[in-house]
Chains A and B, each alone.
Chain A
Amino acid sequence: MSRTTSKKRLLGWLADAALILYFIFALFPIAWMVILSLKPTNELFSTYFSFSPTLDGYRTVLGDSEGIPFVRFFVNSLVVSLGAVALSLLVGLPAAYASARWRFKGSENLMFTLLSFRFAPELTVIIPLFVLYQKLGLFDTYVGMIWVLQLVTLPLIVWIMRSYFADLTPELEQAALLDGYSRKQAFFKVAIPLVKPGIAAVSLLAFIFAWNNFVFPLILTSNEAQTVTVGALSFLGGDRPKYNLTAAAALVSVVPPLLLALTIQRYLVRGLSFGAVKS
């Protein structure tokens, strides 16, 4: 008896050890970037470990001194990501509500079409858009970027919000209708307030996806509307690699998604695991 318990305990420790090993793999790169970003330039190429932390790397990255306007890229990322989420909420919420409340001809097909854009290779639409944007003057503009980023945000918002609306019993709105509310009022005063937590979570998830996108800004912007994901890469260019600046830029660009992820972790997991658990 005691032998089996001690064997069990040993296996438990081994399991914990394996788990910790994976998490070292998962977290070490982030920790190492923090160290690298704090290194002074003269320590970058030493082959032995030396570390006298300085904030110079961040000062250079945030101060335009390498000719890369990183702060502007950061603001650009904010504007286009928020814009894409706002636009997607505006058209996505009614669509999600409609598909959750009414069975109508072609509803499943329409919904699947929306989701199927997730599987299309980005370049299939970007290259024609690149040609089109050059003609229309949308290349390297906020409007152009918001227009393509909703390709990422809209399907996400429609699909997740659809399930939140479907979870509400229709009786609530029917009661409101009996009380003399119009359909519109029932939607805005009953349905929307009840799914508010869902809207908040899905908006943040969509924001993170838009923020993290790389291909769209790489091809459809050059300077004015460029975002942090493309901007961080430009520190790697040039004849003298500036590893500390690259690390600092990478870290600055992951601060918003990481902060959001830590605050709404529970909802994000629900959003991400949604398809599997519900289907």
Chain B
Amino acid sequence: MGWRLNLRPYLLIVPALLLTCGILYPFGLGLYYTLFDFSASKPQPDMVRFENYETVFTQEAFWNSAWVTVLYAVGAAAVETVLGVAVALLLHRSTIVGRVLEKILILPLMIAPVIAAIIWKLMLQPSVGVINYLLRPFGLGGVQWTDTPTGALLSSIAVDVWVYTPFVAILALAGLRSLPTSPFEAAAVDGAGWWYTFRRLTLPMLWPYVLVAVIFRFMDSLKVFDIIYALTEGGPGDSTVVLQIRAYLEAIRFQRYSFGISYTIVLWAVVYLAAMVLVKHLGKIQRKAAEVPAK
């Protein structure tokens, strides 16, 4: 009986693992491809070892893409965190207005990012878009939203913010609702003001919850693809060519398969390292937060 009990969980998990291997195999295959100069023009490739990676790191285009990717990810994650926490705090007051609005908070999050980008692309059209139409009375009718480098980057961050702020808000709201009430009651008895309570109690206790959201948003923004693809396709010039867009252009559009995959492998490594650092940090923050009400 004993050995059967130990074997059963493995048997139950094997089908899921097999499907997972179906993904690991192409991943390994991709890693293997990057050691060759495999492209549409060279279907019988030679082994080039790490030449693809050397080319990646010595290309100015790579460093430009890396810089744009970091700007995008930091910008989007930062705005989403501040805005999301603010929305959660406002909803947590649970007035009638808040209770009604909370029900529809989730809607933008349910729209495919690519569709969101299409929607914003239509609204940001310089001559016929509704945004410039609404800005015209203020003398700002002709903004070329996605046709200038800075404008294109800010516009794509705005789409990301539109889609994902509810995600941060939902996590922060769940966090707020699970905080213990006694420290807040004690602070109220002591006559602590709103700002003091927020800075000394709410924020430190809420931070672990928010941090999970920040980690998810930062990781996901590092590998943004669909929003940029639909909104700017990387342009104008190279101003919004994030790493996944660069990989797509190299591998699919120019059919330099192994070179394109090298790009994604580098991105994968970066995302993993960032995840490890952030998750480690998360543990520390959570331990610290657990001590807050005791003080």
Contacts and interface: CB of A to CB of B under 8 A. Distances in A.
A226 interface: no
Interface string B253-274: 0000100110011011001100
Interface in B258-295: 260-261, 264-265, 267-268, 271-272, 275, 286
A124 B16 contact: no
B103 interface: yes
B17 A110 contact: yes
A33 interface: yes
Between B130, B165, B173, B264, the greatest number of chain A beta carbons within 10 A of the residue's beta carbon is seen for: B264
B162 A29 contact: yes
Interface string A102-135: 1010010010011001011111110111111000
B170 to A, nearest CB: 5
Contacts of A29: 108, 116, 119-120, 123, 162
A266 to B, nearest CB: 9
Given A25-B162, A124-B27, A132-B29, A229 B115 contact: yes
Contacts of A120: 27, 268, 271
B15 interface: yes
B97 A20 contact: yes
Contacts of A124: 27, 30, 261, 264-265, 267-268
B104 A32 contact: no
Contacts of B20: 113-114, 117, 154
Interface string B235-259: 0000000011001100110000100
Interface in B101-120: 101, 103-116, 118-120
Contacts of A119: 219, 271-272, 275
B114 to A, nearest CB: 4
Interface residues of A, number: 89
Contacts of B175: 276-277
A254 interface: yes
A278 to B, nearest CB: 10
B111 A258 contact: yes
A121 B114 contact: no
B90 A19 contact: yes
A30 interface: yes
Nearest to A260: B110
Interface in A212-226: 212-215, 218-219
Contact of B114 (A229, A243, A277): A229
Contacts of A46: 128
Contacts of A30: 107-108, 111, 119
A44 interface: yes
Contacts of B5: 102
A276 B16 contact: no
Interface string A206-242: 0010011111001100000000010011001000000
Between A12, A18, A128, A253, the greatest number of chain B beta carbons within 10 A of the residue's beta carbon is seen for: A128
A273 B95 contact: no
A268 B16 contact: no
A52 interface: no
A36 B129 CA distance: 10
Interface stretch (B6-14, B59-67, B145-153, B182-190): B6-14
Interface residues of B, number: 93
A168 interface: no
Main secondary structure of the interface of B (DSSP, over half): helix
Contacts of B91: 19
A247 B76 CA distance: 25
A122 B171 CA distance: 25
A212 B26 CA distance: 23
Contact of A236 (B33, B110, B121, B171): B121
B212 interface: yes
Contacts of A229: 112, 114-115, 226
B267 A276 contact: no
Contact of A131 (B90, B216, B257, B267): B257
Contact of B252 (A130, A147, A247): A130
Contacts of A94: 12-13, 15-16
Contacts of B101: 19-20, 23
A219 B18 CA distance: 24
Contacts of B103: 265
Given A29-B162, A122-B244, A125-B23, A16 B111 contact: no
Nearest to B111: A254
A20 B171 CA distance: 20
Interface of B: 5-6, 8-10, 12-13, 15-20, 22-23, 26-27, 29-30, 33, 83, 86-87, 90-91, 93, 95, 97-98, 101, 103-116, 118-123, 125, 127-128, 130, 133, 162, 165-167, 170-171, 173-175, 178, 208-209, 212-213, 216, 219, 223, 225-226, 229-230, 243-244, 247-248, 251-252, 257, 260-261, 264-265, 267-268, 271-272, 275, 286
Q: Which 8 A-B pairs have the closest CB atoms?
A: A212-B112, A98-B12, A95-B16, A128-B30, A273-B174, A91-B15, A98-B9, A94-B12
